Structure 1
Amino acid sequence: MAVDIQPACLGLYCGKTLLFKNGSTEIYGECGVCPRGQRTNAQKYCQPCTESPELYDWLYLGFMAMLPLVLHWFFIEWYSGKKSSSALFQHITALFECSMAAIITLLVSDPIGVLHIRSCRVLMLSDWYTMLYNPSPDYITTVHCTHEAVYPLYTIVFIYYAFCLVLMMLLRPLLVKKIACGLGKSDRFKSIYAALYFFPILTVLQAVGGGLLLSVQTEL
């Protein structure tokens, strides 16, 4: 039996958080934002995300994970060319950076310490953009119910990009300084500088177009 402190729940993504459970009795609080790792169900209750990502979810995550690696390889080749024999070592280092970033991201995601993630099922495109669906009951006051309804598909990509950037800044400059002696000082670090540009672009792409990319991928 569920006991509600507040019976009405406005908005598409506002939900009631479980406050207390004793046997079959569940007491829920007032409507608001669901905690991280939960989303609202049809009855407007916040429920934990316990499902495994579907095939298209994994394909989407794989695509977003491959983008930095492909761009790393492109700019390494672009700026190395025939002037240096260090391109192969930089390619291998970029692969190592992205692979380690992916493994670390999975390990720090819930459940922590295992190469597995739990997720909420994506039901519709608006699940990616809950910040656009905060209700205004009196057209003055806004009830903020923004949360990650597609947990963790939205934030896990940002975490992965952050680890990619950190590992690149730790490993690549040392490697390039040691083995890229055939390049001038101005050309030696250009592939790293390029990454400092494309990582923010990828972050914006994920923030704005992540849901659209997955929707298009699902329809193909």
Structure 2
Amino acid sequence: MIIRCILTVCLLYAALLTFAEAFENEAVQTLLNNRCPGIYCGRQQLPDGNWSQCGACPRGFRANTSSSACVPCNSNPTLYDWMYLGFMALLPLTLHWYYIDSYLQSRLFIHQQNDGPSFTKVSLSFHAAAFVEVLLSVILTLLLMEPKGSLNVHSCPSFHLSDWYTLLHNPSPDYRYTLHCTQEAAYPLYSMVFVFYALCVVVMMSIRPFLVWFVIPSPSKRSKPTLPLPLPSHGKATIYSALYFLPILALLHALLAGLIYYSFPHVMIVVSLISSAVHFACKEDQSAKKLFKSTVSNIRNMVILLGHWLLHAYGISCIIPVSEVATHWPVFLLVPLPALFYILTAKFTDPKKVHSD
């Protein structure tokens, strides 16, 4: 009797497993046969096992290309993704340093030498503060992304330019109505940049005003009244400039994120070349000997030139695949070539030597 009951229970259990498997296979087959229109519309699995109507997947999910099921973004960012995020972090840092150099170095705190202005303690403190601000913003951004509390990031890979502009790809079945499936397909590469810019503002406003207060003396406390006036206002100008260019960067990211993602290595190479040429063109004496001497003997000029070289090398490293770096490493030896080319050919483009007939 006991054996008969055990056999009956086993048979019932096997029948239930077979029925559940058949039901699941039927549900999957139904999902495959009824794919959602468009490439970004998906279905969410409901608690009762059924599937919802086609629509936008929730944040952190993306529609599967084979069945239109919303699957979670559990992939790790590729090396190119990390390079892109590094580029987005370098943008505000570079602009911070540029405006700090413009307001505190080139205009006010200029220690004139034969080869131009050099660094001062005040400008170096502001440069260091900008680096700390951006670094803290990067760390906080990574901690806020999924998985929260970790420097790792879960993401969905970006396959096409359209992944950044899902708003433009809402399908219209039979041209009768529009199915709104706008979502963050390139999760979280799109949204985390906005979080980063917002944190840049918050962190800067938490550090920079105190730095202006402590580092730059007020007019009444100056030991040398011959210094330009007013010094504190130019310290504040470094804050005001960031309050302008950070929203502009956010707007550009909102409109051109996909284009920036696929073109930033080339943009970085071209901009570093142009910026390096402008740096040399600002020198009054365009002779090769003077340009070379001012670059080697002045720490500020050398740091600026090395910064251009690093940005140029960074752009090249983003273009070369990781598997081919060992083969194409000699290309990095050409990074100083544009600067040397400018120094050696500047005498041929000196406007003073151009004579009109």
TM-score, normalised to structure 2, is: 0.57
Name 1:110's counterpart in structure 2: 146
Greater strand proportion? 1
Name 1:189's counterpart in structure 2: 236
Shift in Å, 1:110: 0.2
- In 2: Cα distance, 1:188 partner to 1:104 partner: 26
Cα deviations by residue, 1:48-99 (Å, 9 ceiling, x for unpaired):
0111000110000000011101100110110001533411111111111111
Name 2:216's counterpart in structure 1: 180
Shift in Å, 1:140: 5.5
Which deviates more from structure 2 when the two are superposed, residues 36-45 or residues 78-87? 78-87
- In 1: Cα distance, 2:242 partner to 2:176 partner: 43
Q: Which amino acid aligns with 2:94?
A: V
Cα deviations by residue, 1:176-208 (Å, 9 ceiling, x for unpaired):
122122661432311111101100111122112
Structural mapping, 1:32-181, within 5 Å: 32-42=55-65, 43-81=67-105, 83-84=108-109, 85-137=121-173, 139=175, 141-181=177-217
Identity, % of aligned pairs? 46
Shift in Å, 1:112: 0.5
- In 1: Cα distance, 2:261 partner to 2:238 partner: 29
Kept in 1: contact 2:74–2:156 (CA 8 A) = yes
- In 2: Cα distance, 1:155 partner to 1:211 partner: 12
- In 2: Cα distance, 1:206 partner to 1:77 partner: 25
Kept in 1: contact 2:35–2:68 (CA 8 A) = no
- In 2: Cα distance, 1:57 partner to 1:8 partner: 30
- In 2: Cα distance, 1:52 partner to 1:115 partner: 12
Kept in 1: contact 2:62–2:73 (CA 8 A) = yes
- In 2: Cα distance, 1:188 partner to 1:64 partner: 25
Question: Per the alignment, do residues 13 and 98 of structure 1 end up closer, same or farther by CA in structure 2, a change over 3 Å counting?
Answer: same
Which deviates more from structure 2 when the two are superposed, residues 183-192 or residues 125-134? 183-192
Name 2:307's counterpart in structure 1: none
Kept in 2: contact 1:121–1:150 (CA 8 A) = yes
Kept in 1: contact 2:209–2:236 (CA 8 A) = yes
Shift in Å, 1:8: 4.9
Please tell me whether Structure 1 or Structure 2 has the larger radius of gyration of its CA atoms.
Answer: 2
- In 2: Cα distance, 1:214 partner to 1:32 partner: 26
Shift in Å, 1:210: 1.6
TM-score, normalised to structure 1, is: 0.90
Shift in Å, 1:138: 5.2
- In 2: Cα distance, 1:127 partner to 1:75 partner: 34
How many aligned positions are there? 216
Cα deviations by residue, 1:152-175 (Å, 9 ceiling, x for unpaired):
000011101110110111110111
Unaligned runs of 5+ in 1: none
Q: Which amino acid aligns with 1:60?
A: Y
- Find the residue that maps to 1:39 and give its secondary structure: strand
Q: Which amino acid aligns with 1:188?
A: G
Higher relative contact order (CA 8 A, sep 6+): 1
Name 1:207's counterpart in structure 2: 254
Greater helix proportion? 2
Name 1:13's counterpart in structure 2: 40
- In 2: Cα distance, 1:8 partner to 1:76 partner: 55
Among 31, 41, 55, the residue aligned to 2:54: 31
Which deviates more from structure 2 when the two are superposed, residues 177-186 or residues 11-20? 177-186
- In 1: Cα distance, 2:233 partner to 2:177 partner: 54
Kept in 2: contact 1:110–1:118 (CA 8 A) = yes
Kept in 1: contact 2:155–2:187 (CA 8 A) = yes
